[in-house]
Amino acid sequence: MAEMKCIALVHEEFGKPEEVLSLKEIDLPPVRQGEVLIQMEAAAIHPSDIGMIGGSYGRLRELPAVGGREGVGTVVEVGSGVPSSWEGRRVRLPEDSGVWRSLQVARAEHLLEYPDNIPAEQAALAAVNPTTAIRLLSDFADLQSGDWVVQNAGNSAVGIAVIQLAKARGLRTASLVRREELFAPLAEMGADLVVLDDRSAPEKIREARGDARMPLGLNSVGGSSVLNLAQSVSDGGTVVTFGGMTGEKIRFPTRQLIFSDVSFRGFWMDRWNRTNSPDAREALLSEVYEAIGSGTLKTPVEEVYPLSAFQEAFEHNSSGRLGKILFGNV
């Protein structure tokens, strides 16, 4: 069998992506029985990718490692025992071997296929952030039509998915952000209230929701921002932490813990995937596909970069933006 190679973003130590990643040509194994060759179409840059490369994430890869957790590709070659009809299929790139690469070989039986009506850029963003948003809205509070959900980082990919999915469920959202220029675009996506993440936020939120329930707060920032969430939710409400963008420790408000009986929980999508059945995971992804296909859910994409422009991609990713940054076959 002919030797194959691909280009990939590889890191041999943990650190900042722009400092430890390098574009390398690496060997690919031959396509054997039951396997296929996949060409990358699009792959996301997520905060968890940066955490994995930096060595701070809850699950790390053995070094040297190819970066990236989520992407979509097209089957361009099949091995023996795999029907030729597999060629041209759009599939999720296997996560464990890293997705920031031009090509990879995988077992056909382990691949998840995407519906034809989902664009490649949306397929590359379907399995991490929207699934997290659904679980957050489904697993931590008995939300009823007309209830409110409050979240920080409302302009994040999960935050935008929460806004859109909540609206489809008849829920209302209050989103905390750090820039006023985000107010209008988030409102256009369906946000009911967008306020600056400062000390005045809880009062503005309480005024907007009136007597309506706000049983759920969603935290992916950390630090003092959590105080705003705890001071905004209803008595007996729950604040769920699923990220820590600032790296600051969560501040627990004694008053809300004692007098308002506010609860604090944690959520990790990776753990949910590991502890639930394949049928449950498939059902969750089907819900995401349906939402994307119907137009209920759309993750904004700001820019797509080739792998060779990874320095520019990470610089853009760390700047003030609304949409996601992707790597693509461009």
262 in the same domain as 142 = yes
Flag whether 52 is in a domain.
Answer: yes
Q: Are 37 and 1 in contact, with CB atoms under 8 Å apart?
A: no
In tens digits, what is the pLDDT along the chain, a chain of 330 residues? 557 899 999 999 999 999 999 999 999 999 999 999 999 999 999 999 999 999 999 889 999 999 999 999 999 999 999 999 999 999 999 999 999 999 999 999 989 999 988 999 999 999 999 999 999 999 999 999 999 999 999 999 999 999 999 999 999 999 999 999 999 999 999 999 999 999 999 999 999 999 999 999 999 998 889 999 999 999 999 999 998 877 777 777 787 878 789 999 999 999 999 999 999 999 999 999 999 999 999 999 999 999 999 999 999 999 888 899 999 986
* CATH code, 247: 3.40.50.720
Element (H, E) at 106: strand 103-107
211 in the same domain as 244 = yes
Residue 137 phi, psi (nearest 5): -80, -15
- How far, CA to CA in Å, does 43 sit from each of 96, 167, 274? 14, 27, 22
141 in the same domain as 32 = no
User: What is the number of residues in the chain?
Assistant: 330
Owning domain of residue 76? 4-127+300-328
Q: Of 57, 114, 289, 305, which is the active-site residue?
A: 57
Residue 289 annotated among the catalytic residues of the structure: no
> What DSSP line would sit under 23-86, residue for residue?
EEEEEE----TTEEEEEEEEEE--HHHHHHHHT-SSS-PPSSEE--S-EEEEEEEE-TTS-GGG
144 in the same domain as 104 = no
- The domain boundary, picked from 254, 270, 286, lies at 270
* Alpha-carbon 24 to chain mean position: 26
151 in the same domain as 94 = no
- The CA-to-CA distance between both ends of the chain, in Å, stands at 29
234 in the same domain as 119 = no
* Number of domains the chain contains: 2
